[in-house]
Amino acid sequence: MSAVLPTYARYDLEFDRGEGVRLYTRDGEEFLDFAGGIAVNALGHAHPTIIAALTEQANKLWHTSNLYRIPDQERLAERLVGVTFADRVFFTNSGAEAVECAIKTARRFHHVEDTPERYRFICFDGAFHGRTLATIAAGGQPKLLDGFGPPVDGFDHVEAWDVEAVRAAVSDQTAGILVEPIQGEGGIRTAGIDVLRELRAIADEAGILLVLDEIQCGMGRTGKLFAHEWAGIRPDIMAVAKGIGGGFPLGACLATEHASKGMTAGTHGSTYGGNPLAMAVGNAVLDAVTDPDFLEAVRKKGLRFKQGLAQLQDEYPDVIDEVRGQGLMLGVKCKVPPAELISALVEQKMLAVPAADNVVRLLPALVVSGDEISDAVTRIGMACAALAKANASSH
Ligand SMILES: *Cc1c(COP(=O)(O)O)cnc(C)c1O
């Protein structure tokens, strides 16, 4: 038995090294990695640019704390501001911390606006915002809240994507709306352009804040730098993580000047957040994803992948119910238990991620090639064929 606290139901697989979208076991067995570290390894494994950035920084300076200025932190913040709606950035080490910062920023906004009674958030069923006490309350899933005492107060849930229910749920205690433009853990459920625009309108009418969780769907995953750009809207606050560090633990909370006006000196902090190592990697990842050709390539590859999956759905209607998502954030809703498809994929030496709603997520590195996508479609096809055959013989 492992000395590690057994909170994870892990696959019995271990990897020794990686390269691009490939992972290798110690004895050289090769896997096609379409789990992507759960949408984290944006540039794949062992990308030379981020290795260089990290090792160069590692030889200079690792950590000084936020008692002092960190030039690369100021630079990354400025660059993120330059390519988004935001005016201010707070760096964290994880997604949950980025959401915590978003929640605190919105509550402080109303505090300094002299409407401190506005502390509640409207959230959606199926949401996932992290594993801290506040973010499990924001997610609202009984499975994640069970046994951890009274849920942190201040989160009201409505059905996804019922904008009339949101409108009805707004009260004089509402601080904001907290939403993932595409639910990841929830099963690649897309809010859609109209819903995001409606939420923006509701927030404006009510004088509350629109807070996006783009931890999974952001940083180029959908073929835009951030998923809300498809809707042409601007949030007030946004939580980012996963892809932003390409595998180095990094998150960020972005906000407008207006929405962040309560976050004055002493209101928030993190010992590690935005340290020189993380900032070196963050700047290098941002170089790659803001290359104009990069996002165009993600869109093209995503389309090609989705078309390949749609063909498999036609071919294996008893295995695949639906193909969902955008860019390289795709999901296959299964007619079989999704764990069975994942196991069948492991047989084909390919990795994918389970999600709620019977979905298997496909979240390859954004640098995946067209050939690697074709390879993935072939392997998924073989896994479907194996499942279809097993199902036919069991009936
Ligand atoms: C992964 C994820 C989180 C939590 O991020 P951690 O780094 O695990 O804390 C929050 N929100 C969304 C949408 C996520 O996908």
Mean pLDDT on 146-153 = 98
Mean pLDDT on 1-28 = 95
Lining ligand 1 with CB less than 6 A are: 94-96, 99, 128-130, 180, 184-185, 213, 215-216, 241-242
Task: For residue 330, tell me if it sits in a domain.
Answer: yes
For residue 135, the ligand 1 atom closest to its alpha carbon is 10
Q: What pLDDT digit, counting tens, does each position of 184-230 carry?
A: 999 999 999 999 999 999 999 999 999 999 999 999 999 999 999 99
Task: For residue 12, tell me if it sits in a domain.
Answer: no
Q: According to the model, what pLDDT value does residue 199 have?
A: 98
Q: What separation in Å is there between the alpha carbon of 99 and the centre of ligand 1?
A: 8
What rounded mean pLDDT belongs to the chain?
97
Given a cut of 90, is residue 392 above it in pLDDT? no
pLDDT > 90: what percent of the chain? 97
For residue 127, the ligand 1 atom closest to its alpha carbon is 13
Question: Could you say which of 236, 262, 289 is where a domain stops?
Answer: 289
Mean pLDDT on 1-30 = 95
CA distances from 200 to 106, 205, 214, 236, 338 (A): 15, 9, 15, 9, 34
Question: Could you say which of 289, 312, 330 is where a domain stops?
Answer: 289
**Same domain for 243 and 108:** yes
**Same domain for 226 and 77:** yes
Q: What pLDDT digit, counting tens, does each position of 313-346 carry?
A: 999 999 999 999 999 999 999 999 999 999 999 9
Task: For residue 8, tell me if it sits in a domain.
Answer: no
Number of domains in the chain: 2
Task: For residue 38, tell me if it sits in a domain.
Answer: no
Q: Given pLDDT bands bounded at 50, 70 and 90, which one contains residue 292? A: confident
Q: Report the CATH number that the domain containing residue 326 is assigned in CATH.
A: 3.90.1150.10
Task: For residue 43, tell me if it sits in a domain.
Answer: no
**Same domain for 304 and 283:** no
For residue 99, the ligand 1 atom closest to its alpha carbon is 10
Mutation choice for ligand 1 from 8, 135, 215, 217, CB with most ligand atoms inside 8 A: 215
Given a cut of 70, is residue 395 above it in pLDDT? no
Q: What separation in Å is there between the alpha carbon of 226 and the centre of ligand 1?
A: 15
**Same domain for 283 and 300:** no
Q: What pLDDT digit, counting tens, does each position of 262-286 carry?
A: 999 999 999 999 999 999 999 999 9
Q: Which domain holds residue 129?
A: 48-289
Task: For residue 363, tell me if it sits in a domain.
Answer: yes
Q: What separation in Å is there between the alpha carbon of 258 and the centre of ligand 1?
A: 25
Mutation choice for ligand 1 from 91, 129, 131, CB with most ligand atoms inside 8 A: 129
Q: Given pLDDT bands bounded at 50, 70 and 90, which one contains residue 394? A: confident
Question: Could you say which of 240, 269, 289 is where a domain stops?
Answer: 289
Give the 3-state secondary structure of the chain: CCCCCCCCCCCCCCCCEEEECEEECCCCCEEEECCHHHHCCCCCECCHHHHHHHHHHHCCCCCCCCCCCCHHHHHHHHHHHHCCCCCEEEEECCHHHHHHHHHHHHHHHHHHCCCCCCCEEEEECCCCCCCCHHHHHHHCCHHHHCCCCCCCCCEEEECCCCHHHHHHHCCCCEEEEEECCEECCCCCEECCHHHHHHHHHHHHHHCCEEEEECCCCCCCCCCCCCHHHHHCCCCCEEEECHHHHECECCEEEEECCCCCCCCCCCCCCCCCCCCHHHHHHHHHHHHHHCCHHHHHHHHHHHHHHHHHHHHHHHHCCCCEEEEEEECCEEEEEECCCHHHHHHHHHHCCEECEEECCCEEEECCCCCCCHHHHHHHHHHHHHHHHHHHHHHHHHC
Task: For residue 7, tell me if it sits in a domain.
Answer: no
Given a cut of 80, is residue 2 above it in pLDDT? yes
**Same domain for 386 and 375:** yes
Q: What separation in Å is there between the alpha carbon of 346 and the centre of ligand 1?
A: 24
For residue 130, the ligand 1 atom closest to its alpha carbon is 4
